[in-house]
Amino acid sequence: MVPISRFYGEPADGDITIENQTHQFFVEHALSSAWQVRAGMQYRHATLNGYASEGHAYNGGTASVDNTGLLWRRLRYRDYRSEDWSSQINVLGKLTINGFEHDLVLGAEAFRFDIDQFAIRDWNSSLPAVSLATGASPLAMPTSTVS
């Protein structure tokens, strides 16, 4: 049994960096004491990139460790980017019908989401699972590309 505290990654891979920025602008305007309009826009930009050594299934199976005690790892580089634009407009009003007050909301919303994903990986690396020494067997620079 391998303890859950055991780290099979590679510290030399560095950090995976995630950035997320959101910008919003909303305005509200009273048309009368009973009617108002609200409108707004939002922009979001996000990135995720970096290297990671990860255990993977051996020879098409489901286990990361084969019958000789080797842990199969692959080095991956990820560069993901996304942009998200959205806008909305709402008209709010108060109506009285047959003595009952009603709040009415009419609105529309539109958005666009774009994402670019780039990844490269190396499949051919193994290390002893029981006495794993990180840094002792660095993974090669990935040569395969997945977009």
**Long-range pairs, 137-143, Cβ under 8 A, ≥24:** 138/10, 138/12, 139/10, 139/53, 139/73, 139/74, 139/75, 140/75, 141/75, 142/75, 142/76, 142/77
Q: Is residue 121 part of a domain?
A: yes
Of 61-70, 79-88, 108-117, the range with the lowest mean pLDDT is: 61-70
Structural domain including 89 reads 11-146
pLDDT in tens, 62-82: 666 666 667 777 788 999 999
DSSP state of 39: E
Which amino acid, residue 140? A
pLDDT at residue number 147: 47
**Beta-bridge partner residues of 102:** 95
Q: Is residue 39 part of a domain?
A: yes
Q: Is residue 3 part of a domain?
A: no
| 133/54 Cα distance (integer angstroms) | 15
Q: How many domains does the chain have?
A: 1
pLDDT in tens, 9-38: 778 888 999 999 999 999 999 999 999 999
Q: Is residue 5 part of a domain?
A: no
